[in-house]
Amino acid sequence: MTKGNNSSSSNAGAFIGTVAVATPPYKVGQAEADAFLTKHFSDKIGPRNLSVMHKILAHPSITQRAFAFDDPLCLLHEDPDSRMERFRLRAIELSSEAALKALKEAGLTCDSVAALVVNTCTGYVCPGISTYLIEKLNLSRRIPVYDLVGSGCGGAIPNLQIAGAQITGNKKGVVLSVSVEICSATFQMEDDLSLIVSNALFADGAAAAVLWDRQEGFELVDSSTLYVPEHRDDIRYIHKNGHLYNSISTYLPHVVKKAVSQVVADILKPRSLGIRDIKHWALHTGGEKIINEIKKELGLSESQLHPTRDILSRFGNMSSPTVWFVLRHILDSGIEKGDWCLMVAFGAGLSAHACLLRKS
């Protein structure tokens, strides 16, 4: 990979105080998903791709996923308007749940929120999700809010960069960073390998983080970003007949590992840090093949990848919130003061992002 722009930015003085996650109550095992897709879509899928679907859904890397619907039969007849309304309602529900959990864990109320940043890529509403959260959480009507779209699975870290900047420029309260995706609102099924892989991998969820200027939690030491637009078509949504269709190339693991390697080097080399110096890795759960390619490219150990593999197993790929789920796993497992942690996410663009954290 020889092209692309990389950048590094600092959020000096900003700390991640708490992280909280939320998933919808409807859980589906991979065998159940296979049975549903086979029953309702086998007539649309050729024998070869049907065999591939069975193989992917039988892979042990994912055991179950959560979805924001009450009955999967809705996927068979949702029109674009109904689907977007489901996205709106469930995105508000899940993101507010995660936000309230994060504030409660921090010992704060909604009155403490001085800014709000929300990202999503699985639906579009105007005004954005942020205004609904202002109303639902009874936040101040005068706080700055930002709605980010278009970053795909990597969107949590650009969100974090903006949220961190709000801390350094505003000492009046805390900042809420919220990532929410209703991937099931982009469900489609045809005789297309991209859609088959997507329907075996993606799920729904939300996460929220409280950022503050207290020297408690994770210090945001630095971040780096790389965009490789000539590989835009390797991972993106396309529009067909009023619906979003996920498009993923078979070449994606190779492209992602190179982009991730560059953003990791951009953030570690100036500090003379190496892979082994970073004990904790909050790596996005892009899928088993991508995880394995990144492992080989960076030389990561299985212990460094354990949180990512565990979240993939229990939740699948929830797009942008997933990296927060991995960070929450790291917190729950225990992390020592002074330990380095690297958040890494990647997605549409093609883009890769890294955020260097240190436990305070």
Q: How confident is the model at residue 5 (pLDDT cuts 50, 70, 90)?
A: very low
303 and 158 within one domain: no
- Asked if residue 312 and residue 207 are part of one domain, the reply reads no
Do 237 and 169 lie in one domain? The reply is no
The C-alpha angle with vertex 90 and arms to 252 and 138, in degrees rounded to 5, equals 120
pLDDT class for 275, splitting at 50, 70, 90?
A: very high
Whether the per-residue pLDDT at 38 is higher than 90: the answer is yes
Q: What is the mean pLDDT of residues 36-40?
A: 97
Residue 3 lies in a domain: no
Verify that 198 and 243 share a domain, yes or no: no
The band of 240, judged by pLDDT with boundaries at 50, 70 and 90, is confident
**Predicted local distance difference test score (pLDDT) of residue 286:** 94
Which of 17-21, 157-161, 168-172, 229-233 is the least confident region? Answer: 168-172
Q: Which residues of 161-180 are buried (b: 16+ CB within 10 A; e: fewer)?
A: bbbbbbbeeeeebbbbbbbb
**Which of 167, 182, 212 represents a domain boundary (last residue)?**
212
Q: Which residues, listed in sequence order, are joined to residue 212 by a DSSP beta bridge?
A: 15
Place of tokens 């994912």: 62
Please report which confidence band the pLDDT of residue 11 belongs to, taking 50, 70 and 90 as the band edges: low
Could you list the residue range(s) of the whole structural domain that residue 52 is in? 17-212
In terms of domains, do 206 and 226 share one?
no
Half-sphere exposure of 58 (CA within 13 A, CB side): 6
**Domain contains 160:** yes
Q: Is pLDDT of 133 > 50? A: yes
Same-domain check for residues 43 and 169: yes
Same domain, 325 and 207: no
Task: Examine the domain organization and report whether 242 and 198 are in the same domain.
Answer: no
- Concatenate the DSSP letters of all residues of 280-344 into one string: EEEE----HHHHHHHHHHHT--HHHHHHHHHHHHHH-B-STTHHHHHHHHHHHH---TT-EEEEE
Say if residue 230 is in the same domain as residue 127: no
* 1 pLDDT tier (thresholds 50, 70, 90): very low
Q: For residue 105, what is the domain's CATH number? A: 3.40.47.10
Please check whether residues 299 and 325 belong to one and the same domain.
yes
Residue 8 lies in a domain: no
Residue 110 forms part of a structural domain: yes
With respect to residue 12, please indicate whether it lies within any of the assigned structural domains: no
Write the CA distances from 215 to 99, 184, 339, integer angstroms: 21, 38, 14
Residues 205 and 261 in one domain: no
Identify whether residues 203 and 336 lie together within a single domain. Answer: no
Number of domains in the chain: 2
Which residue among 190, 212, 234 closes a domain? 212
> Closest Cα to residue 128, out of 88, 158, 156?
88
Structure pTM? 0.95
Q: Is residue 11 part of a domain?
A: no
Token readout for 157 is: 């870290």
251 pLDDT band (50/70/90 cuts)?
confident
Q: What torsion, rounded to 10 degrees, do the Cα atoms 232, 117, 212, 96 define?
A: -120
Is position 330 within any domain? Answer: yes
Picking from 164, 188, 212, the residue at the C-terminal end of a domain is 212
Tell whether 96 is covered by a domain: yes
